[in-house]
Structure 1
Amino acid sequence: MTESAHTRIGWLDLPAEVRSRVEGVLGGGPVTEAVTQPGGFSPGTAARVRTSTGRRAFVKAVSPELNTRSAELARMEIHVSRSMLATAPVPRLLAAFDDGAWVVLVLADIEGAQPRTPWVEPEVDAALAALTELAAAVTPTPVGGLPTTAQRLHDNFTRWAALAADPPADLDPWLAERMPELRCLSAATLEILATGDTLTHCDIRADNMLVRADDGKVMIVDWPWGCVGPAWVDRLMLAVDVYVKGGDPARVLEGIDPDAVTGFLAGMSGFFEYAHRQPPPPSIPTVREFQRRQAEALRPWLRARLCSTPRRRP
């Protein structure tokens, strides 16, 4: 299963001058093959391309006219990708340009596929190995000017307050009764997320990973949310994706403070419970359904942890 906007523009929808500039980066031969890729929510182009000379690349391009936030995220991804270390399991940035009308990244093409979902054990292990390798390569962070993970997730982790101020009629009664505790847990977790000096991806999901065809190694793609925090944040996000899409997250969570796990789930649940009830953003009609599914999947896990796990925090 992939998460997709289902409204992507293709390679041929890009202006001729943008396509020509990309072809120049790739050596000047015209692109003769372009395959739009699934996954993600941006309405912009995300295509694997091949030129007449056989040069391959992965091209991402979006215009603020399509979606202002998507263009902002592309600019953020350029900032992170330009400083990424070669030792990290991340596709190499070949070129990037931003003329105000179009924001474009040209990345090394990875021959591979997204991990299967429901998750299978070998690919969970490969993803976990990639995150361990990533943390070793980007601690301390090689990218300057980034927010902390707490700053990045602050708005998400404070959504219980908005839900408490105007409780939705369809909010699960068990959650409604525990909103003060959930707000407290989420706030305490933000304090933890302000620590650490690792560059974290902060959006780990199956559709932001590629399993290489030749050796099964996982590469981590799509970096607009890069921030600085504890190395275990990305492992926790992997555990959430494994749980939501089908699989056992236990070994992914090994070594992470159980209080941090419960608090993180509280924060993420508050965000999804709030977000899926909002109007969809322009040109991204399916994101609210994705958020609804996430909220529904996390409820029983959060409930089980709150009911069975001793906690040091209220």
Structure 2
Amino acid sequence: MSSASPPEYHATAQRPEWSVLPARLRTAVAARLGAPVVQATTASAGFTRGFAALLHTADGHRAFVKAAPHAEQPHLVDWYAREAAILNRLPAGLPVPRPHWSLWEAGWYVLCLDAIDGHTPRLPWAQVELSATLTAFADVAEALADPPAELTALGLPRLSDLARDDILWWGEVAAGREPVPPLPAPARGRLAELVALESRLPGYAAASTGLTHGDLRVDNVLIDTAGAAWFCDWSWLCQGPAWFDLVTLLITGYAGGLDVDSRFAAHPAAAGAPDDALDVTLAALAGYHLTASTSAPPTASTHLPAHQRWTGEQALAWLSHRRAWA
């Protein structure tokens, strides 16, 4: 296990405050909420620069609102609109904030969601919060194993294609098209093995007929006041195996010294996974994050490279430990 400290995931966001949004936009949002906004608490987790805040209105209601300007952040507008379409079609009863409405005003797209009274889990994980998260994710994975037709009709991307296009980077490093990222001693000289491992991910992902969240990080989890877990930010839902999400979630557990190997093996989402699915995913994620950490788009939080570097390091450390690389 690496001794590096994890990012402060509850405080990574760099977002505009409610008060600096265009007046026309604030007026339109208040009109849809049905009362003036008297308090706005900006979301402190996440890595985009989009507006996201818990809004309190004069009549005592609350709502979580996301917004982005199309001219400056068209990708965020696309993500928020895609999330709205997905959330409207997810099976009922899942621990997922549901959308209330969306609107365009002053060149901004706005999405209003349920307000969840909760907090981002702190690292290292509290055992009770990780257990609650894994239990809730089992329900999500079961519901998405055979997704409703209205959801798949959205034409969701395939994880197998995303892997080939954007996730697999060790092959690029081996070919000399990307620089070799800093590697810990156990992983040095293992480039051929890393390439071989990551190359299996597209085939494994293509065999799945279910759906995967695609971005199940600790900052996309909320623990509510009753101790139950909720899952947020559904823009990256795609066709793929649930065990991929399980790995992305458990990387932070490995960093905290927890027995994540047994948690992966025992989780329903890992049932039927190829024997080396965990190692294959760790290899792919290590290469992706370590390569991506060398730069960040100007529309992202400046904390993003640190998150990617730390995540890549933890994925590689976990993989090295599992494969007894010394």
Q: CA deviation at 1:14?
A: 2.0
- Residue type of the alignment partner of 2:90: M
Q: Partner residue of 2:218?
A: 206
SS at match of 2:103: strand
Alignment of 1:1-314 (within 5 A): 1-2=8-9, 5-26=12-33, 28-98=34-104, 101-142=107-148, 143-144=151-152, 145-164=155-174, 165-166=176-177, 168=179, 171-172=182-183, 175=187, 177-213=189-225, 215-245=226-256, 247-255=258-266, 256=270, 257=273, 258-307=275-324
Q: CA deviation at 1:98?
A: 4.4
SS at match of 1:177: coil
Q: Distance in 2 between matches of 1:187 and 1:203?
A: 20
Contact 2:67 2:110 in 1 (8 A): yes
Q: CA deviation at 1:176?
A: 5.1
Contact 2:283 2:315 in 1 (8 A): no
Q: Distance in 1 between matches of 2:292 and 2:284?
A: 12
What TM-score comes out, normalization by structure 1 length? 0.89
Q: Distance in 2 between matches of 1:33 and 1:276?
A: 36
Q: Distance in 2 between matches of 1:6 and 1:87?
A: 29
Contact 1:157 1:190 in 2 (8 A): no
Q: Distance in 1 between matches of 2:319 and 2:109?
A: 39
Q: CA deviation at 1:170?
A: 5.6
- Residue type of the alignment partner of 2:143: A
Q: Distance in 2 between matches of 1:186 and 1:274?
A: 14
Q: CA deviation at 1:305?
A: 2.1
Count residues with an aligned counterpart.
Answer: 306
Gaps in structure 1 of 5+ consecutive residues: 309-314
Contact 2:14 2:301 in 1 (8 A): yes
Contact 2:181 2:291 in 1 (8 A): no
Contact 1:156 1:270 in 2 (8 A): no
Q: Distance in 2 between matches of 1:8 and 1:219?
A: 22
What TM-score comes out, normalization by structure 2 length? 0.85
